[in-house]
C-alpha cells in the first residue's frame, strides 16, 4: 500500500498522550475543540491521583520555578510545525561530500525540524545563549535580534505580524520572556541528545540562578554533573567601585546516568610533583594520604615498623584494613619514613589515567576572550569582526570532557561566531577523526558601525560561514605535512528555514473547494526545486542531513539516491515507467514519488505490483 508523507514535525503531545493511555487508560477522556470537534484528552485530576499514594487536593503551592508564559512555552515545544529546510548549494563548501551542517534560521524552529532525524543522536551540545543583560536585545516572538534592526515603538509588529518589544530591565516580563525562550528550546534539545549525551551552557551572573532551575526541571537535578567557573579574562578592568568580573559559568547537564565524564590529558606541568628518589622499579611517584575521611572503628589500629617502633593510627582510622596495609608494605606501595614515625603511600604516575577535571577552569588551560580575539584576527587578516567570541581551546576542553568519539555529532544552536565548528575541525585535524558539527544561527543583522558590517558582512550568519571557510583552509595549511590531512572534512552544507514545500491544502484537504479542484495542478508550491523536496522528505523520514546523495539519470528521469539505498526519490512530473524496475533492483528501504507523477490509477497499481515482485520490503510513499 502506498503511504502519504505527513511533511511536518512530529506531534509530541499526541505521542505523549498515547504513552499515558498505555499506562493509565482510565484517565483518557474526550473534549470539544474550538470548532466543536471531538478530540482525545486527559483527565489530569485522575492522572494526578493515579500517580499519588495519598489523596490529591487542589493546593497549588509546590516547589518549582514558575513564570508567566511557562505553560505556553511547553505547549509550543510540543506542538508540530510545518516549516522545513531548503538547501543552499552556493553558500556551501563541498556540499555533496561533507558531513557538516550549517543552518540559517530561528533555532527553535530548527530544533523542531531536526527532532525526528536527530532524535537521540547528538553526543554533545554547546550553547552560548543571550545572557539577558538588558542591553541591545529585543525579542521577536521570543527570538533575539539586534536593537538597531527595530526602532519602532513598543507594541509594533513586523512583516509576519509578530509582536516586537524591547527586553530591557524596565520590561515587566524581563526575566519571564528570557526564561520562556530558553525553556522551550531546552525541552526540544534534550530529546536530541544520546542517552550518554551531555550539554554545556555558558551563562553569566544575570540569569545563572534561573537557568539552573529550568535545567534542573528539563534534565533532572540529578543530571547536573558540575558548574564550571571559566576564567575568561586575566586583565584588570580598572576601579569603578564594583568587582572586576573575570569569569563566566558553564553548566554541565547530562541526558542520563550513562554519561561518563572523561579525564583530561596530563602534561609535564601536572607531572612535575612526581619523582623517584628511592629508585622504585614502578617509576615516578608522589606521596598520598593514608588517613580515612570518615570514622571507622575497625580501621583504628597500631602499625609496627621494621625496628619495632609503633605508629599510632590517625583520629578517624587508616584508609585500609590491617591486611591490606601489610600487603602494600610488602609490595613497596607503602613505605616508612626515614625516622619510622609515619607511613607514606606511593601514588604511581604510570597508574594514572589522565587527570580528574576540575570545576575551576583557568584561562591558561581553556583560553580567554583575548585569545579568542587573537584567533579571529589571524583568520580575518588582523581584523576582529566578532565582539565576544569564545576561544577554540575552551570548546576543545569541553569536547575532551565529553569523551566524544571520532564519529560523534556536536550541535550548537546559538552558533554566533562558529567557534564550535572551528574547534571540531581542529580536533579532527589532530587525530584524523570524523566528528560532525551542526551549527544553527538566526540571521541577525550586524551593527552598521561594526567592523563586520564595514567588511561587507551584513548578518551574523555570513560572518559565521566565512569563519568556517577560512578556519578550515588554515587548519589544512598548518598541517599540510600531516598524513591524512587531505581527507579532513572542512566543508559544510548550508540549509535555510522556510515554509513547507507543500501548499496548505496538503495539510488541510477539507479546505479545498470545488473551484480549487479544477484550478489546482499541484500540491507543491511554485518555485520549489527537487533539491528542496528531497530535503523535506529526508527530514520527514527521519534521515540525517549529512548522508551522501547521488543523482542519476534513468530513462530521462532525474533520480536521487541517498546513502546507497536508504532512500530513492524521483520528483519528475512525467515518470518513465521503465525506471520502476531499475529502482526496484537497488532494493531501497524507501522510495518516494510525487503524487502527481502518476496520472492514471493503472500506473499506481503497476508501481505497487512491480515493487511487490522485485523488492517487496521497500516502503513506497508519495508527496
- Do 533 and 561 fall within a single domain? yes
Domain membership of residue 317 (yes or no) is yes
Place of cell 604511581: 348
Which of 230, 218, 147, 206 lies closest to 182 in space, CA to CA? Answer: 218
Angle formed by the axes of helices 392-402 and 369-379, nearest 10°: 110
- Do 552 and 470 fall within a single domain? no
The pLDDT tens digits of the residues spanning 346-362 come to 999 999 888 899 999 99
The pLDDT of residue 187:
93
* DSSP bridge pairs for 137: 146
Could you give the CA distance from residue 222 to residue 220 in angstroms, rounded to a whole number?
A: 5
- Do 388 and 529 fall within a single domain? no
Which of 148, 188, 109 lies closest to 498 in space, CA to CA? Answer: 109
Q: At residue 152, does pLDDT exceed 80? A: no
Domain membership of residue 223 (yes or no) is yes
The pLDDT of residue 92:
97
- Do 297 and 398 fall within a single domain? no
Domain membership of residue 74 (yes or no) is no
- Do 110 and 196 fall within a single domain? yes
Domain membership of residue 78 (yes or no) is no
Task: Answer for the pair 305, 326: CB distance below 8 angstroms, yes or no.
Answer: no
CATH of the domain at 452: 3.40.50.150
Q: Which of 199-203, 263-267, 312-316, 525-529 shows the highest mean pLDDT?
A: 199-203
Q: Is 230 exposed, middle or buried (0-12, 13-18, 19+ CB in 10 A)?
A: buried
Question: Pick the residue with more confidence: 116 or 175?
Answer: 116
The pLDDT of residue 291:
92
- Do 142 and 260 fall within a single domain? yes
The pLDDT tens digits of the residues spanning 292-310 come to 989 999 999 999 999 999 9
Mean confidence (pLDDT) of the chain:
86
Domain membership of residue 238 (yes or no) is no
Domain membership of residue 558 (yes or no) is yes
Could you give the CA distance from residue 394 to residue 126 in angstroms, rounded to a whole number?
A: 11
Exposed e or buried b per residue across 361-383, where buried means at least 16 C-beta atoms within 10 angstroms of its C-beta:
bebebbbbbebbbebbeebbeee
- Do 379 and 326 fall within a single domain? no
Q: What backbone phi and psi angles, to 5 degrees, belong to 487?
A: -95, 0
Q: Which of 351, 379, 406 is the last residue of a domain?
A: 351
Q: Which of 317, 351, 385 is the last residue of a domain?
A: 351
- Do 371 and 328 fall within a single domain? no
Domain membership of residue 507 (yes or no) is no
Average pLDDT of the segment spanning 251-266? 94
The pLDDT tens digits of the residues spanning 54-81 come to 666 655 666 778 888 888 888 888 888 9
The pLDDT tens digits of the residues spanning 114-141 come to 999 999 999 999 999 999 887 634 445 4
Domain membership of residue 479 (yes or no) is yes
Residues whose CB is less than 8 angstroms from the CB of residue 132 and which lie 6 or more positions away in sequence, other chains included: 167, 174, 175, 178, 206, 207
- Do 184 and 296 fall within a single domain? no
- Do 51 and 178 fall within a single domain? no
CA angle 482, 100, 551 (to 5 degrees): 105
Residue-number span of the structural domain to which 555 is assigned: 516-622
- Do 591 and 524 fall within a single domain? yes
- Do 198 and 338 fall within a single domain? no
Domains identified in the chain, total number: 4
Average pLDDT of the segment spanning 363-383? 92
Q: At residue 162, does pLDDT exceed 80? A: no
**Predicted model pTM:** 0.82
Residue 8 C-alpha cell reads as 511536518
Measured between alpha carbons, how far is residue 146 from residues 31, 443, 479 in Å?
A: 43, 10, 38
The pLDDT tens digits of the residues spanning 22-65 come to 887 767 777 777 776 777 888 887 788 778 766 666 556 667 78
Amino acid at each position: 500500500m502506498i503511504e502519504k508523507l505527513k511533511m511536518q514535525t512530529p506531534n509530541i503531545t499526541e505521542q505523549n498522550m498515547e504513552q499515558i493511555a498505555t499506562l493509565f487508560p482510565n484517565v483518557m477522556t474526550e473534549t470539544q475543540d474550538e470548532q466543536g470537534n471531538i478530540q482525545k484528552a486527559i483527565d489530569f485530576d485522575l492522572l494526578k491521583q493515579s500517580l499519588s499514594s495519598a489523596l490529591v487536593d487542589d493546593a497549588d503551592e509546590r516547589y518549582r520555578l514558575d513564570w508567566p508564559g511557562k505553560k505556553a512555552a511547553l505547549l509550543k515545544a510540543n506542538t508540530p510545525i510545518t516549516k522545513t529546510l531548503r538547501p543552499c548549494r552556493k553558500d556551501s563548501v563541498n556540499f555533496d561530500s561533507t558531513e557538516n551542517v550549517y543552518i540559517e534560521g530561528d533555532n527553535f524552529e530548527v530544533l523542531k525540524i531536526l527532532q525526528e532525524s536527530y532524535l537521540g543522536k547528538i553526543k554533545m551540545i554547546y550553547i552560548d545563549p543571550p545572557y539577558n543583560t538588558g542591553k541591545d536585545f529585543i525579542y521577536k516572538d521570543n527570538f533575539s535580534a539586534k536593537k538597531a534592526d527595530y526602532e519602532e515603538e513598543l507594541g509594533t509588529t513586523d512583516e509576519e505580524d509578530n509582536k516586537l518589544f524591547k527586553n530591557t530591565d524596565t520590561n515587566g516580563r524581563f526575566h519571564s520572556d528570557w526564561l520562556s525562550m530558553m525553556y522551550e528550546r531546552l525541552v526540544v534539545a534534550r530529546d536530541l541528545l544520546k542517552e550518554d549525551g551531555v550539554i554545556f551552557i555558558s551563562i553569566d551572573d544575570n540569569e545563572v540562578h534561573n537557568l539552573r532551575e529550568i535545567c534542573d526541571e528539563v534534565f533532572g537535578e540529578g543530571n547536573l554533573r558540575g558548574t564550571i567557573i571559566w576564567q575568561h579574562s586575566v586583565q584588570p578592568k580598572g576601579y569603578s567601585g564594583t568587582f572586576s568580573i573575570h569569569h563566566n559559568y558553564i553548566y554541565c547537564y547530562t541526558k542520563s546516568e550513562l554519561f561518563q565524564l572523561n579525564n583530561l590529558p596530563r602534561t609535564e606541568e601536572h607531572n612535575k610533583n612526581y619523582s623517584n628518589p628511592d629508585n622504585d622499579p614502578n617509576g615516578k611517584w608522589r606521596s598520598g594520604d593514608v588517613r580515612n575521611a570518615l570514622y571507622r572503628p575497625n580501621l583504628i589500629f597500631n602499625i609496627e615498623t621494621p625496628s619495632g617502633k609503633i605508629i599510632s593510627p590517625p583520629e578517624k582510622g587508616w584508609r585500609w584494613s590491617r591486611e591490606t596495609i601489610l600487603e602494600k608494605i610488602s609490595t613497596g606501595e607503602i613505605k616508612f619514613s626515614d625516622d619510622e614515625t609515619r607511613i607514606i603511600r606511593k601514588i604511581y604516575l604510570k597508574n594514572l589515567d589522565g587527570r580528574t577535571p576540575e570545576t575551576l577552569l583557568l584561562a591558561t588551560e581553556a583560553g580567554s576572550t583575548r585569545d579568542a580575539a587573537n584567533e579571529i584576527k589571524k583568520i580575518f587578516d588582523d581584523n576582529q569582526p566578532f565582539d565576544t567570541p569564545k576561544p577554540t581551546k575552551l570548546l576543545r576542553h569541553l569536547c575532551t570532557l565529553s569523551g566524544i568519539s571520532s564519529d560523534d555529532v556536536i550541535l550548537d544552536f546559538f552558533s554566533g561566531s562558529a567557534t564550535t565548528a572551528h574547534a571540531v575541525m581542529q580536533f579532527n585535524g589532530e587525530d584524523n577523526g570524523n566528528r560532525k558539527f551542526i551549527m544553527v544561527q538566526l540571521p541577525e543583522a550586524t551593527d552598521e558601525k561594526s567592523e563586520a558590517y564595514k567588511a561587507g558582512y551584513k548578518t551574523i550568519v555570513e560572518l559565521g560561514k566565512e569563519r568556517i571557510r577560512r578556519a578550515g583552509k588554515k587548519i589544512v595549511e598548518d598541517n599540510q605535512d600531516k598524513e591524512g590531512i587531505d581527507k579532513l572534512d572542512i566543508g559544510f552544507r548550508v540549509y535555510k528555514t522556510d515554509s513547507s514545500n507543500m501548499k496548505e491544502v496538503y495539510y488541510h484537504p477539507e479546505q479545498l473547494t470545488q473551484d480549487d479542484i479544477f484550478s489546482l495542478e499541484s500540491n507543491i508550491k511554485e518555485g520549489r526545486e527537487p533539491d528542496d523536496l528531497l530535503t523535506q522528505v529526508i527530514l520527514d523520514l527521519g534521515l540525517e542531513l549529512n548522508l551522501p546523495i547521488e543523482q542519476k539519470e534513468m530513462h530521462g528521469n532525474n533520480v536521487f539516491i541517498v546513502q546507497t539505498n536508504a532512500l530513492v526519490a524521483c520528483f519528475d512530473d512525467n515518470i518513465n515507467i521503465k525506471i520502476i524496475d531499475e529502482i526496484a533492483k537497488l532494493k531501497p528501504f524507501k522510495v518516494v514519488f510525487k503524487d502527481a507523477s502518476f496520472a492514471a490509477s493503472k500506473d499506481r497499481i503497476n508501481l505497487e505490483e512491480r515493487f511487490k515482485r522485485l523488492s517487496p520490503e521497500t516502503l513506497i510513499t508519495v508527496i
